[in-house]
Structure 1
Amino acid sequence: MTVLTREVLESSSLADLHALAGELAVDGFRKLRREQLVDTILERRGGAGDDEEQGGRRRRRRGGRRDEASSEATTISVPVAGDDEGDERPARRRRRRGGEDAETDAPREHGRSDRDRSDRDRSDEAETEGTVEGVLAITSNGSAMLKADDGTEVYVSAGQVRRCELVDGDRVGGPTRSPRRSERYPSLVRVETINGRAADETSTGTRFEELAAVRPTELLAIESEDPTVAAIAYLTPLGRGSRAVVVGPHAAGKTEALRRLAVALRGIDGLELLPVLAGVRPEELADWTDAGLQPAVALDLTAGPDARAKAIDEVVERGRRIAARGGHAVLLIDTLDGLGDGAARRILAAARKLRDGGSLTIVATRETPAGGESTVVRLDAALTATRRFPALDLAGSGTLRPETLVGEDGAAAIAKARAELA
């Protein structure tokens, strides 16, 4: 517990005050003036309303010097939830000695002595009430909320997010403790697993671009009763780390095929699906949610190319971080049309299989190939319009080096089937 006085709060930076207000769930704190923000923090923590303190503050505003009695400021205790190394914000502390000011800075990383931290760690361990696993959502102040599989929401401190380099969509597990006074949610005591692996095994100091990439060799075992999806899985196989584009003219059924492919991919263990709807019709968004697929980003037709490219890049970065830590992410994008060949190739280039690591697979829709794809799935608008499925254009579809995914015999079987169906 860190004890703060009004003097400490008033001498803290505005960024530190905003961080405290965010931890205390103060609504609209960024719109408050410094004095109002200090008062609100004190009130929220039960430290305001002291007549002597209020009087001392009023005398200080008039330029008068507070007497010694009024300098005994009301103190507040701000709990730090669920961080084994602490997540409090540093505050500049002012002490009066012999009429002179002496300033000390709280440690920027830990904010307390090792002994205090050890005591707090033992307290957290004693309060542990069970373990939880769920998907992480980062908040604007750097902390996060973990939505457990049973629907429970658990607070994850900003220190844990930074230390473990967590990103939106990470699947995180660890022990929790019950809420303390004035806390709204249970807190994660420590991060034990990230995307199904031990936390200490997933940290990486190497940039994603510097990790060695290899050809995809692990087939995505897609199973579906939909004839077009089944044909895609057999005739144009996809692997972990593939970069694929579903192409075809207007009304060829690209969005429908991508959504049904996403449903099939959802049945494969160990994949983190990241659907991105960039410039779709409003009713198409409803189709995705009705199918149980929650898009990571959803932009309608009014979004411009810059907004769409930025949104896609943000989700690509999430996928890269998951892959760098040994996880497997699949980014499904509808659509890359309107971004230009250069932007489309840059997005597709992020897909890869990392040597001895994870993978980022990208499957996107576009009217024409962008270049650099490892798999092209071309749909035939005439077949789609007449409801003749599968609606693949076999002459324009294919996977580079399919033998790396299905072996020489599998590649020969695909070639034979294509010849018979052509």
Structure 2
Amino acid sequence: MNISELQGKPKTELLTLAKEKGVTKAESLDQQDLILQMLKSEVEQEGHVFCQGVLETMSDGYGFLRQDTMLPNHADVYISPSQIRRFGLRNGDMVVGQGRPPKSNEKYFSILQILAINDIDPEKSRERPHFGSLTPTFPDRIINLEHSPGELSTRLLNMIAPIGRGQRGMIVSPPKAGKTMLLKAIASATATNYSDVHLLVCLIGERPEEVTDMKRSVKGEVISATFDEPVENQTRVAELALERAKRIVESGKDVFILLDGITRLTRAYNLAMPSSGR
């Protein structure tokens, strides 16, 4: 049973699965507690559970596998310092492994065995290069954004401002001009035309319903921190998303990052900075 898969299911489907697993008083539990009880039941019945998440390392050497939002919660999975050192794990690694439920004096699930790191064998992951040692080059391969006869915006982008692999760009426009719609069109075109490109959408300071809409309409990884989150969480999610992209590149894959929006992220960093007193 996969933690990430369970978190993506609606409450009604979780209740049905919980009854099959023999979880008692499932209706009175909230979604996160229900998932934890189901995982414990799975462990008791089959002896193991599969855990998956993006690694965030702490200053003390240990780490946690973060789930969908990349923010801390009680469904995170603990990874010991010895496992991080053994496999050379880095911030932003996508780790899949076999875990165990928390013991009486513990709060989190723990990884017993790591099965994959960024979709590659754990032993091979130690051989990957560091992002800082890679050689940057000028873009020389264009990304074709034309994917639907009725979508004119991406066709115009191809003509006026073509995008290449390794290129940076910024959309500047007045409010309510359709920046998010254009980003969705770019994301759909990339996902449709390039199955080898990992699409990473980072939403900072957006409304929750816009995050839901993006997840439903884009075939890619969506990382978000909504406007009601503290600014520290918004900057934290943005930095972890960048680390996630670096780890994918180190594994030999191409990443397409779409950030919405840089103005809100800048505002969050300004608010998170300590006051100078002047």
Q: What band does the TM-score fall into relative to the shorter chain?
A: 0.5 to 0.7
Residues 1:271 and 1:177: Cα distance change in structure 2 (over 3 Å): same
Shift of 1:135: 6.4
Percent identity (aligned): 20
Aligned length: 200
Distance in 2 between residues matched to 1:186 and 1:308, nearest whole Å:
27
Q: Deviations over 1:359-386 (max 9, x none)?
A: xxxxxxxxxxxxxxxxxxxxxxxxxxxx
Offset at residue 307 of structure 1 (A): 4.3
Cα 1:161–1:286 change in 2 (3 A) is: same
- 1:165 partnered with 2:86: no
Q: For 1:229, give the aligned amino acid.
A: T
Q: State the match for 2:179 in structure 1.
A: 254
**What is the letter of the counterpart of residue 211 of structure 2?**
L
Q: Could you report, residue by residue, the CA deviation over 1:263-295 in whole angstroms, capped at 9, with x for unpaired residues?
A: 222232222222111111233122112215576
Q: Distance in 2 between matches of 1:189 and 1:338?
A: 36
For structure 1, the 5+ residue unaligned runs are 1-43, 45-80, 83-131, 148-154, 345-422
CA deviation vs aligned residue, 1:320-342 (integer Å, no higher than 9, x gap) = 2222332222221110114559x
Is residue 208 from structure 1 mapped to residue 208 from structure 2 by the alignment? Answer: no
**TM-score, normalisation: structure 2:** 0.54
| CA deviation vs aligned residue, 1:163-209 (integer Å, no higher than 9, x gap) | 1425546386xxx8899xx9x99975654x744x6656553575423
1:266 to 191, 199, 202: 191
The 1:169–1:218 alpha-carbon spacing in structure 2 relative to 1, beyond 3 Å, is farther
CA distance in 2, matches of 1:243, 1:290: 26
Question: Contact conserved, 2:206 with 2:225, CA < 8 A, in 1?
Answer: yes
Q: What's the RMSD between the two structures over aligned residues?
A: 4.5
* Structure 1 counterpart of 2:205: 279
Instruction: Give CA-to-partner distance per residue, 1:119-171, whole Å, 9 cap, x none.
Output: xxxxxxxxxxxxx9x96444886365999xxxxxxx99655554142554638
**Partner in structure 1 of residue 143 of structure 2:** 220
* 1:9-408 aligned within 5 A: 136-138=53-55, 142=63, 144=65, 158=80, 160-162=83-85, 163-165=87-89, 168=92, 170=94, 190-191=115-116, 194-195=118-119, 202-203=125-126, 207-225=130-148, 226-267=151-192, 268-293=194-219, 296-303=222-229, 307-340=233-266
- Structure 2 residue matching 1:280: 3-state secondary structure: coil
Q: Match of 1:272, SS?
A: strand
Q: List runs of 5+ in structure 2 lacking aligned partners.
A: 1-39, 41-47, 69-76, 104-108, 271-278
The amino acid of 1:208's aligned partner reads F
- What's the TM-score, normalizing by structure 1? 0.38
Distance 2:78 2:228 in 1: 35
Counterpart-to-counterpart distance in 2, 1:199 and 1:231: 43
Relative to structure 1, is the Cα distance of residues 299 and 194 closer, same or farther in structure 2, using a 3 angstrom cutoff?
closer
Distance verdict in 2 for CA 1:190–1:285, change over 3 Å: closer
Q: Which residue of 2 aligns with 1:90?
A: none
> What amino acid maps onto 2:225 in structure 1?
L
Q: Is the 8 A contact 2:54 2:95 kept in 1?
A: no
Q: Is the alpha carbon distance of 1:241 and 1:201 closer, same or farther for their aligned partners in structure 2, counting shifts above 3 Å? A: farther
Q: Residue 65 of structure 2 contacts residue 95 of structure 2 at CA under 8 Å; is this kept in 1?
A: no
